Amino acid sequence: MKLWGGRFTKQTNRLVEEYTASIPFDQKLFEEDIRGSLAHVRMLGECGIIRPGEAKKISEGLKTIREKIRAGKVEFSVSHEDIHMNIEKLLIEEIGPTGGKLHTGRSRNDQVALDMHLYVRARTLDLVKALTALQEVLVEKAEEHVDTILPGYTHLQRAQPVRLAHHLLAYVDMFGRDAERLKDSYKRVNTMPLGAGAIAGTTFPIRRERVAEELGFDRLYDNSMDAVSDRDYLVEFLSAASLIMVHLSRLSEELILWSSEEFGYVELDDAFCTGSSMMPQKKNPDVPELIRGKTGRVMGHWVSLMTTLKALPLTYNKDMQEDKEGVFDSVETLKGALALTAPMVAGMKVNGEKMRRNAEEGFSNATDLADYLVTKGLPFREAHEVVGRLVLTCLHEGKSLTDLTLEEYREACPLVEEDVYEKLKVENVADARNAGSGTARSRVLEVLKKKKIELDETRNWLNTVRY
Ligand code: ARG
């Protein structure tokens, strides 16, 4: 017998049951569903909508069911469609007809919205925590490599020397923005929809503030129609999740490139790589490749939900049941990617020698040589020309700018003096960028300090919010 069977004269077609059921995936929400029901039934009892004894009996029944589900002793059924009706059915079996009073003043429409708010709220905080842990690892790596110089790239061509710390700190800021985005969306995810009923509210004298307080919600929906049809908080979550994946994917891409024989900048730990079944020499960076590869599916879930919502009339439509799997899958995908990236970065070996050599050989100090000639009195346009020719000479002779003798320099431009070598050292080239957001040692050290303070602030925030 269906919980809604009264109006029907026929059994539901078995294929329809299977097609419309969400229990295969929304059983993931059983903790949230029971937590919400416990708060709801307590309020029903307190407000005299049901008798206190009944509320107590229902609470106890719900807790028993929770234990059974946790212990894996419950078999859900597609004929009860979703987690909400499966639990209600179990409750009635457990405590008898009193169980049928749980759903007073509530609909599955506000119930499912409540469950998803609770679920995504917790996952939002999990993600902020995981991002913070990754940022911490990157900050530590950056601290180890303040004095490691590599060529910074534009167009994937060597451009100007940068400190490896500076490069890593760029990622710290990307993940910092990701955490900020989640912190901001937390305000909206932490809004309680319960009390909206199916669409227009409820005739029972409920006190939803009481439920909100118990469940740790900071705000309530003002409009019942919005409460049951709003999925913006899920879109926001998927959008933030997509951007996190994009950032992880860019980092992964660099690790893949850098660990290739051609770059030779880093070596990933053996524990994070796999071999080839045919080529004995291979050590493949599967983990960053898979992170890069899985980015598309999270972005896809965001597009998919936006598409589901874009033409839906108010309020609840069954289409909305499609909001769940993409969110669940994104949570799992991100969890794995973040949990692996942190130890992979922590455990990678950096070949500072190779980085430095590439920075020196790549003429990444050519701009600085031109600037040097300008300080000696040459107009910039002429300096550019002189340096261009010197680069050409070096290219022909397989040299870098610092390999040229003073005589060779003077032949090109008599203004050059012995101090040119000091000027062209890659560290000094980097340290000349000491204004604003530049890569100078002093700036990098300041930023490192600032990032640690920001990380502390996020950790403090995590301690003040409700799960
Ligand atoms: N399983 C449904 C979902 O996930 C729950 C809400 C169903 N509401 C309804 N009126 N059929 O969206």
* Statement to judge: residues 24 and 150 lie in one domain: no
- Contact between residue 445 and residue 146 where contact means Cβ atoms under 8 Å apart: yes
Look up the CATH number of the domain holding residue 161: 1.20.200.10
Q: What's the pLDDT at 467?
A: 86
> Is the pLDDT reported for residue 361 higher than 90?
no
pLDDT tens column, 152-189: 999 999 999 999 999 999 999 999 999 999 999 999 99
- Contact between residue 424 and residue 359 where contact means Cβ atoms under 8 Å apart: no
Q: Please state the three-class secondary structure of 69-123 as a single string.
A: HHCCCCCCCHHHCCHHHHHHHHHHHHHCHHHHHCCCCCCHHHHHHHHHHHHHHHH
Q: How far is the CA of 99 from the centre of ligand 1 (A)?
A: 20
* Statement to judge: residues 72 and 115 lie in one domain: no
Is 155 labeled as catalytic in the residue annotation?
yes
Distance of alpha carbon 9 from alpha carbon 444, whole angstroms: 74
Structural domain boundaries, residue 414: 360-446
* Statement to judge: residues 186 and 227 lie in one domain: yes
* Statement to judge: residues 315 and 268 lie in one domain: yes
The reply to whether 336 falls in a domain is: yes
* Statement to judge: residues 376 and 424 lie in one domain: yes
> Is the pLDDT reported for residue 272 higher than 90?
no
Task: Judge if the beta carbon of residue 112 lies within 6 A of ligand 1.
Answer: yes
The reply to whether 453 falls in a domain is: no
pLDDT tens column, 407-459: 999 999 999 999 999 999 999 999 989 888 999 999 999 999 999 999 999 99
Q: Residue 324: which pLDDT band, with cuts at 50, 70 and 90?
A: very high
Where does a domain end: 315, 333, 357? 357
Atom of ligand 1 nearest to the CA of 26: 4
| Residue whose CA lies nearest to ligand 1 atom number 4 | 321
Task: Judge if the beta carbon of residue 109 lies within 6 A of ligand 1.
Answer: yes
Atom of ligand 1 nearest to the CA of 82: 1
Where does a domain end: 104, 129, 150? 104
Active-site annotation holder among 79, 107, 155, 167: 155
The residue among 289, 113, 280, 316 whose CA lies nearest residue 200 is: 316
Report the DSSP pairing between strands 191-192 and 219-220: parallel
Q: Which element (helix H / strand E) includes 300?
A: helix 286-309
Of 275 and 95, the one with more pLDDT: 95
Atom of ligand 1 nearest to the CA of 81: 1
Q: What's the pLDDT at 275?
A: 79
* Statement to judge: residues 311 and 237 lie in one domain: yes
Mutate to test the pocket of ligand 1, among 112, 305, 322 (most ligand atoms within 8 A of CB): 112
* Statement to judge: residues 321 and 370 lie in one domain: no
Instruction: Give the E-state strand segments of 317-389 in sequence order.
Output: 349-350
DSSP string, 390-429: HHHHHHHHT--GGGS-HHHHHHH-TT--TTHHHHHSHHHH
Where does a domain end: 53, 82, 104? 104
Q: Percent of the chain at pLDDT above 70?
A: 100
* Statement to judge: residues 173 and 301 lie in one domain: yes
Active-site annotation holder among 224, 247, 260, 276: 276
Atom of ligand 1 nearest to the CA of 83: 1
Structure tokens at 196: 């909206």
* Statement to judge: residues 243 and 373 lie in one domain: no
Q: How far is the CA of 52 from the centre of ligand 1 (A)?
A: 29
Distance of alpha carbon 142 from alpha carbon 145, whole angstroms: 5
Number of domains in the chain: 3
* Statement to judge: residues 277 and 404 lie in one domain: no
* Statement to judge: residues 302 and 276 lie in one domain: yes
* Statement to judge: residues 250 and 130 lie in one domain: yes
